[in-house]
Structure 1
Amino acid sequence: MARHHIVRTSALLSSICTAALLASAPGTASAQSAESARSAPASGDIIVTARRTEERLQDVPLSIAAISSEDMAEKGVTDLQDIANYTPGLRFTDFLSKFNGNAVIRGLSQTNVQNAVGNTGVFIDGIYLQRGYMVDSQLGDVQRIEVVKGPQSALYGQNTFSGAINYVLNEPTDELHASGRASVGNGGYTDVRAAVGGPIVPGILSGRIYYATADFDGVWKNNFPGAGSSGMADFGGYQRRNFSASLKLTPTDGMAITGTYYRLTRNEKIRAFYTIDGNLREDQLNCGAVGSNGSPYLWCGNLPSSPAGKRSGENTDHYPDGLFAAPQPGMRAKTEMYHVAAEYAFSPDWTFNYDFGRVRGEGIEQSSFASNSYYLDESSFRLPGQSPTFSMQREAGLMKYTSHDARLAFDNGGPFTFDFGYFRSKTSDAFLFGLRLGMQPGGPVLSDNWDPLDDGGVILFNNRRTNYKIDSGYGRVGLKLLDDQLTLGAEARYTHTALTTIDMQTPDLPALEADYNNLTPRFSVRYEPSVDLMFYASAAKGVKAGGFNGYVTGSVELLPEERAYGEEVNWTYEVGTKGSLLNNRFNYSLAAFYIDWQKRQISAPPANYVPPVDSTQGGGAVPGAYISGGSAESYGVELTANYRVATPLTLNGSFAWQHATAKDGAVAPTASSTCDDIVCRTDGNVAGNYLGNVPQFQGTFGFDYRTPVNDDLDFFMGADEIYRGKMYVDETNTASTAAYFLTNARVGVSADRWKGFFWVKNLLDEKYAEASFVVPSIFQYNVNLGDRRTFGVTLTFDY
């Protein structure tokens, strides 16, 4: 590993040095903002809309990262996990089947990834995407992606507990415009995108249409016998189709009405993974309490980067080489959005905005954790005398969401600005989760049932229909002082949430109902002594609504006090500075934050639940019960900067340190059966431990080199070294995923209207554990492996 890192670092430094030697060549390069890329206007400023108005990134008193569509294309960015690699303080995990996509900002990782409301809100043009199976877009017809850190409750609502991610789509224009992109790469990768737009009735009506299709087989081979004939020769592949169409009507000066239809469909194979099962004699856990089969129930230390590292040495004759898993259906999802945005500047000082959104999303995963263990054939074994069977997981949802948002804004160019608005939304969310037990090894896991409301014959642990009704009023004021150098800001939103849940496992019992009322303020101060320097400080409150566990979970009846859990709250405090130095050649953004997180929604075993000794005996999943209890804190520093060394060469880097730990009241729910008071406490107390799936350190370092070849053609090249630090799997802080480095690179040529380039991700083919989750009631770790080397060639045009 050490030698590998030296080779990697040397290769990158050699590339940078080579580029630096070429820096004296004639050419031009535009200045870049510290938190974005080359899509800036001619002035060099980056314009963002994170606060529902157009602002220079430099002027926003928030930590914001913005990445342009041009940068995403050059770096081979295809999903939110790639975005997270380039965004300090952001972590995205989609676990085994990509059903429960989970974005984590500044360490606020949620325990319940099946919750209908996440800690990080994801939006398309400000319209909320509520479920995890909806959030990981194909990154289609986007102009840019904005990642806003810290609670944004005043402007976006309670769904931005830790921050917001907003996909900003391209709009129709009055100029005829066509663009496209075609990519091919290893692993059967193809990606074709095309858009055309322009005037329909010049000056009055314009339109735009976009379509994209992407296919990928995957780069991890599945060595399960006959996997190719069952359609799963590789892990991690997908089929994604994205279509959008929009019309923009400008009937009079100051008025614009834009209507957008957006659709994304996804068929996703399961990711490359393996399991470590404490019930297996052929697997070898290494710490914690010892089970009836003589094996410990926990893993301590870094999880292996391949399944070879978890074997006990027994039953070796029945292991193929490498990874293997029974072929299985994976995940399918579809998201449709209708959005109408109207803006009317009815005077020089007043503007009225109205947004209507309707979203329908459905997703279903059918998968098994059966990988690299006893599931291959009948010669494999668990405890003595037991037959080897396994379970298939079925997790599905159907979500319908409608929202109305009306806002009135005043800005006369003077010291005082304000806006206020009213928001209403209704959500209908159906969700089910269960297992089919007793499946026989040796063959594929097959199912053609893709109805998200059908249980598919599984044993259900959760099956609920939940309705949300949200009404909120919000406002914002700003006051400029000291010749506009000092700006004081205050925002607030008052929200009423009515929540109703029907437990479909007990449909004859009354619906569970609750109402929540909360006020979420935000205060900020910004000091801008010059156009190139800004300091700011802010304090913001985030609130996430509570929810229901239902009347039962699986076969366990819940006590009345266990049927619901309350809201969770955080206060986030941030100070920072943004600036440009050396005649705008050096740009930076630096922020420090502290988060006080109270009433966390954490997992807890129901009073009537008795953990099974073995998962084949009436178990197979942790009951889905949650409580509002315990606290946590997170603090850290984020830095993003770039430096234009010479006209052709720019160096860039980012760094994030986040210290996210549990505090009083936090517990590990099954510690009494897995811990031994040596590696972790049997009473479950995890106060002081790091939160799960949160890296303490993240960073990138890279360069970008551009120079003319002749009057019509430019040459460019670049590379990025991406670092993600060690992460603990859960709050027991026993098992962890090791730190890793990835090297990405690109090289190509561009002209006025087209560009062609080669890109590669994970250049040195690093094998690493990307994430893991543990099912403690059955003593099983599931380890996701990151993609191996992927590369391709892309051609773009823009006319």
Structure 2
Amino acid sequence: MYSFKKHALAAAVAVSIAPVEILAQSTSESVEGIEEVVVTARRRSESLQEVPISISPVTSEEIQQRAYSGLEDIAAATSGFTYEGFSTSGTNGNAVIRGMAQTFTTARTQNVAFFLNGVHLQRQSMMNFGLVDMERVEVVKGPQSAMYGRNAFAGAVNYITSPATDSLEASVSVTAGSDERRDIKALVSGPIIEDLLYGKINIADSTYDGHTRNAHPFADADVPGPHTNGKLGGWEDQTISIALALRPSENLEVKLDYYRAEIERESQPYYVMSGIANNAWGFTAYSDMNCNPVTRMSFLGFPMTANSWWCGEVPTAPTTATDNVLAPFAPDDTGHNAITVDPRSIGAVAETDVASLALNYDFSDSVSLSYLYGRTGSDSLTNGGSADRDPLTGVGTTWDTLMFPVPGGGMQVVPQIAYTNSFSGRPISTLESDSHELRLNFEGETWEGGAGVYYSSIDDESYDLTLYMPLCSTFNAGYDYGISGQAACSLPADGSVGSPLMGAPDPVSQRLGMWHGAESKHTLFDDNVFALFAEAAYSPTESLTLRAEMRYTEEDKGIRRLTDGFGVPASLPFSGVVIPEDQETFHYFTPRLTAEYQVDPDHFVYASAAMGVKSGGFNNTNDVAKLTYDEEQNWTYELGSKNTFLNGAFQLNAALYMIDWEDLQTSQAPTTGTVGDTILIANTGDAESIGFEIDGRWLLGDSWSTDFTMAWANPEYDDGVEYEEGARFINSGCLQPIMVTPDQAVPCGDPDVGGNQLARTSEWQGSVGINYQAEVFNGWSLLARLDTNYQSKQYVTPLNLAHTGDRAITNANVSLAAPENWRFNIWGKNVLDEEYVGGVFVLSQFNKMIIATGMGPSYGATVSYDF
């Protein structure tokens, strides 16, 4: 039967980044100490306090108690780990461990590897599918390429679902909260055939209307298919988790797990800032930026001067008036400038399927064999939301150019303008993957280790979708496609409706109209990964262990470029696709060396040197010089200590590290600089970082406890690292034409960002939690928690000009549980209404920032019953 008292005590002292359980006989007796936490980050069960890696596990009790719903919650309370989902609610999500951020946010592979029950999740859209049925989430810090292989470059995040249980268990929970939050979950687990076959099924449905008012006059428009309805930031998620366990003998266990998540998430509240490049392209006549005045040549052939970028803290809401003269800028309910989002915006729509078959056989007490098969499938869709500065007026694009005689001689050029809303879905992807891992393990008195082989094949298809839609607005100046006002809102922004620009006589608008709905940069990727790995550990004494891990990997990668940046097929003579097909093989060796020393039962120290490698790949571009990029690597040197004091009541863990990072894969501008060829991946130089992490928890008697974390990181670019993207589009101070030809490719600004802090990294993080637990009446348990999570500013680009500002988010929850069946939980997130920038997506080619604001206050109550 479920013992809530034990788990309530566990959650009461659970540290935000490394939750632990507390062992106590009753609230009237003294707390005996912090109970051992078992993790499986190294593919075996080990005590957290004896693993020579910095690991932050989050338990199912914490997830339930604190109403965690996604990766944002995990990251906010985990030292050295951040996550931002941007305005697309995770389609382009970016996870960062120890400041090792990637600047190319839409890359196929990331610096942090994600796994579900040991199976690699390759796409960003698979990172954040929810926390339903999670027994534990482990954030493993530092390069784990020797253990996990493919792209565990800065670390890994392991999702572990709950297993099928030996005894019959069943539960149901219902959540109701602010902004129409509604959740329901049901679980059944237990034996199917006694002492042989066990099963589990967990089904969940979650809906949420959103947390921020959409000031758009047609925010409630009935748009077919996925869209943003009413408030912003809502979701509709469905999850099913199934597990079977077969145990025909004491030596053999076979497990089958299946997890399916269907997510439909609205755009986060966001607004757009734009600068001189947007003006020069003719997309808007307004500049929101406050620094870097530069001169550009407009598409009509005359020079324009305005600001190119924002310096300082990025505001959480627009600070300047919109372009819409018919619908004036209206403040929201709090008096701030309103956020207006086109209701046709799609944040993230994704289906993720993960199936795994695990076999474990013990030949003896010291030798075992394991096999893991994994099958993943993913479909992800977004339109990115309207990228216009003001969706009510849209983008004014030249439809045609008329000539009128001027008195006294000469002709006057009068452009005829068509107004549209633009959407940009990047990327839209479909992925299928199969993987196999066979591992042989042995354990002796002085030696232990193992060896194995790994193989996976990945078929990955992606493309970009750019749309120019009729205005969903009462603003009808210029060409209105014959549709005005709310009627245009019913046209879904999914490519099924033609662009108003398609019939334009103007050649530039013709080009943009051709782009509408085209599968631009349509690309097929084919990866085959083979790896051999081994581990050996020697213990010359009971206290000292010397460990070596190594992995040899061969990645055979292929690409088929089907269309160029304008959606023109490679088969056509005027296509920008230079090389339709390419193939390349990457080889690399990733070692990890560790020395572990158990000073005494309460004090453990370790030192390690580990290499991480992230393989190279391909770009779909007409820039011949940047069709491919090489792998990047880092060496991380770490010194750590895990300690227990005060007779088990105080636990303090710390890690100090230094990172030497070479051949960074960063975003760079294409040589051509045309609107159809977007930013690419290139190797641009090196970086280094030093930092530390501290995790602590303290039992302050029978009823009170506290936990705290602190992390500091100083990731900086080395001298000589060049951010061409910024030099060409942001810092450019010369008379630079829009259409740059190869002989004009020398950047006008200084591309060197050496010494600057890496973009999207926080120098400081911290959290503190205060917990209270007591028995209140007739065996009922009360548990209360108040915590605050802090994150310092993050620079938006390597230029270190714009930044997000600091933020401190406070959460609270109170739980009441019966001795056996009932549990009641009241929770609140961001209860002090901290306003903050949740993420900034950069379109430097257009001097544009898409600024997503963070989640506002939310409240709810959950009722659970265990049968």
- Normalising by structure 1, what TM-score? 0.89
Aligned to 1:13: none
Where does residue 424 of structure 1 map in the other structure? Answer: 455
Partner of 1:786: 854
Determine if the alignment matches structure 1 residue 702 to structure 2 residue 769: yes
Q: Residues 628-651 of structure 1, C-alpha deviation per residue, up to 9 Å, x if partnerless?
A: 221111221111101111111011
SS of residue paired to 1:295: strand
1:634 aligns with 2:692: no
Q: What whole-Å deviation, never above 9, does each CA across 1:742-761 have from its counterpart, x for those lacking one?
A: 11001121123332121000
In structure 2, the partner of 1:592 is 656
1:232–1:295: structure 2 CA closer, same or farther, 3 Å change rule? farther
Per-residue deviation at 1:282? Answer: 4.5
Q: Which residue pairs with 2:845 in the alignment?
A: 777
Matched to 2:154, the amino acid is S
Aligned with 2:489 (options 444, 456, 464)? 444
1:300 has 2:358 as partner: no
CA distance in 2, matches of 1:243, 1:365: 23
Q: Which letter does structure 1 place at the counterpart of 2:288?
A: Q
Report the alpha carbon displacement of residue 502 of structure 1 after superposing the two structures with TM.
Answer: 0.3
Q: Share of identical aligned residues, percent?
A: 29
Cα distance, 1:446 vs. partner? 3.9
Per the alignment, in what secondary structure is the counterpart of residue 583 of structure 1? helix
Distance in 2, matches of 1:768 and 1:380, equals 31
The alpha-carbon distance between structure 1 residues 78 and 29, as it changes in their structure 2 partners (threshold 3 A), is closer
- Partner of 1:87, secondary structure, is coil
Match of 1:511 among 581, 594, 604: 581
- 1:732 is displaced (CA, Å) by 0.7
The CA distance in 2 between the partners of 1:704 and 1:31, in whole Å, is 5
Query: What amino acid maps onto 1:304 in structure 2?
Result: P
**1:290, CA displacement in angstroms?**
3.0
Offset of 1:527 from its aligned partner? 0.9
**How far apart, CA to CA, are the structure 2 residues paired with 1:93 and 1:622?**
26
| Counterpart for residue 234 of structure 1 | 231
Question: Does the 8 A contact of 1:211 with 1:244 survive in 2?
Answer: yes
Q: How does 1:718-757 map to 2 (within 5 A)?
A: 718-753=785-820, 754-757=822-825
How far apart are 1:314 and its partner, in Å?
9.4
Deviation at 1:50, TM superposition (A): 0.1
Between the aligned partners of 1:326 and 1:33, the Cα distance in structure 2 is: 42
1:283–1:310 Cα contact (<8 Å) kept: no
**Residue number in structure 1 paired with 2:536:** 477
Which among 358, 364, 369 is matched to residue 352 of structure 1? 369
Determine the C-alpha separation between the residues in 2 that align with 1:362 and 1:209. 23
Alpha-carbon shift at residue 381 of structure 1 (Å): 10
Query: Which residues of structure 1 form unaligned runs of 5+?
Result: 1-26, 612-618
Deviations 1:509-541 (A, max 9, x none): 552100011100001111111111111111110
Q: Paired residue for 2:593, among 523, 529, 541?
A: 523
**Is 1:664 aligned to 2:719, yes or no?**
yes
Residue 63 (structure 1) aligned with residue 86 (structure 2): no
Measure how far apart 1:29 and its partner are: 7.6
User: C-alpha displacement at 1:450, in angstroms?
Assistant: 9.2
Candidates 763, 781, 790, aligned match of 2:831: 763
Q: Which residue of 2 aligns with 1:36?
A: 18
The answer on 1:623 being equivalent to 2:681 is no
Alignment correspondent of 1:119: 111
Instruction: Using the TM superposition, give the Cα deviation of residue 179 of structure 1 relative to its aligned residue in structure 2, in angstroms.
Output: 2.5
- Counting matched residue pairs gives 750
Q: Any idea what the Cα deviations from partners look like across 1:110-167, whole Å, max 9, x if unmatched?
A: 1222222111011111101100111102101111100000111111112201000001
**Residue 46 of structure 1 aligns with which residue?**
37
CA contact (8 A) 1:245 1:260 kept: yes
* Bigger Cα displacement from structure 2, 71-80 vs 310-319: 310-319
Select the residue among 634, 639, 642 that pairs with 1:575: 639
Q: Deviations over 1:343-400 (max 9, x none)?
A: 00111211100000000111010233446x4331379999996554342113310000
1:323 aligns with 2:339: yes
Structure 2 distance, partners of 1:450, 1:582, is 64
Q: Which amino acid aligns with 1:654?
A: T
> In the TM superposition, what whole-angstrom CA distance separates every residue of 1:537-594 from its partner, at most 9, and x where no partner exists?
11110111111113xx3xxx221x3211110111111111111100111111101111
Tell me the equivalent position of 2:424: 393
* Alpha-carbon distance in structure 1 between the residues aligned to 2:387 and 2:243: 44
Query: Distance in 2 between the 1:737 and 1:382 partners?
Result: 35
1:285 to 269, 280, 289: 289
C-alpha change, 1:382 and 1:107, in structure 2 (3 Å) is farther
Does structure 1 retain, via aligned residues, the 8 Å contact 2:825–2:862?
Answer: yes
Asked if 1 retains the 8 angstrom alpha-carbon contact of 2:322 and 2:390, the reply is: no
Could you tell which deviates more after superposition, 745-754 or 773-782? Answer: 745-754
**Residues 144 and 167 in structure 1, CA contact (< 8 A), matched pair in contact too:** yes
Specify the code of the residue in structure 2 equivalent to 1:251. P
Q: Name 1:712's counterpart in structure 2.
A: 779
Q: Distance in 2 between matches of 1:441 and 1:210?
A: 41
Counterpart residue number, 1:558: 623
Instruction: Tell whether 2:363 aligns with 1:337.
Output: no
Matched residue type, 1:78:
S
SS at match of 2:464: strand
Tell which structure's C-alpha radius of gyration is larger.
2
Q: Which moved more, 1:419-428 or 1:385-394?
A: 385-394
Distance 2:811 2:612 in 1: 36
Change (3 A) 1:478 1:88: same
The secondary structure found in structure 1 opposite 2:147 is helix
Q: Deviations over 1:272-322 (max 9, x none)?
A: 111111134444211013355543011000011111x24489959632331
Output one character per residue of 1:381-437: Cα deviation in whole Å (capped at 9) or x when no partner: 99996554342113310000100000010013x121011110000000001113124
Q: Which whole-Å CA distance do the structure 2 matches of 1:458 and 1:116 have between them?
A: 22
Output the CA distance in 2 between the equivalents of 1:472 and 1:740.
42
**515-524 or 622-631: bigger deviation:** 622-631
Q: 1:650 to 1:456 in 2, by over 3 A?
A: farther
Residues in 2 aligned to 1:352 and 1:265: alpha-carbon distance in whole angstroms: 34
Question: Is 1:247 the counterpart of 2:244 in the alignment?
Answer: yes
Q: Secondary structure at the match of 1:236?
A: strand
Equivalents in 1 of 2:23, 2:459: separation in Å? Answer: 41
Q: Deviations over 1:21-43 (max 9, x none)?
A: xxxxxx98899576533557888
Letter of the 2:431 counterpart: M
Verify the 8 A CA contact 1:33 1:45 in the aligned structure 2: no
Distance (whole Å) between structure 2 residues aligned to residue 173 and residue 690 of structure 1: 48
| 2:158 matched residue in structure 1 | 166
Name the CA distance, whole Å, in 2 between partners of 1:644 and 1:266: 39
After superposition, give the CA deviation of every residue in 1:235-256 in whole Å (9 maximum; x if it has no partner). Answer: 1111000001111000011110
The one-letter amino acid paired with 1:436 is L
Native 8 Å contact 1:29 1:648 kept in 2: no
* Alpha-carbon separation, structure 2, partners of 1:265 and 1:424: 28
168-177 or 387-396, larger mean C-alpha shift: 387-396
- Correspondence for 1:647 among 698, 702, 706: 702
Whether 1:535 aligns to 2:605 is: yes
* TM-aligned CA distance change 1:430 to 1:717, over 3 Å: same
Q: 1:446 to 1:44 in 2, by over 3 A?
A: farther
Name the amino acid aligned to 2:834. E
Amino acid at match of 2:62: D
Question: How many Å separate the matches in 1 of 2:117 and 2:555?
Answer: 23
Q: List per-residue Cα deviations over 1:77-104 (Å, max 9, x = no partner).
A: 1000110001001111111112112211
Provide the rounded CA distance (Å) in 2 between the counterparts of 1:382 and 1:771.
32
Structure 2 letter corresponding to 1:718: R
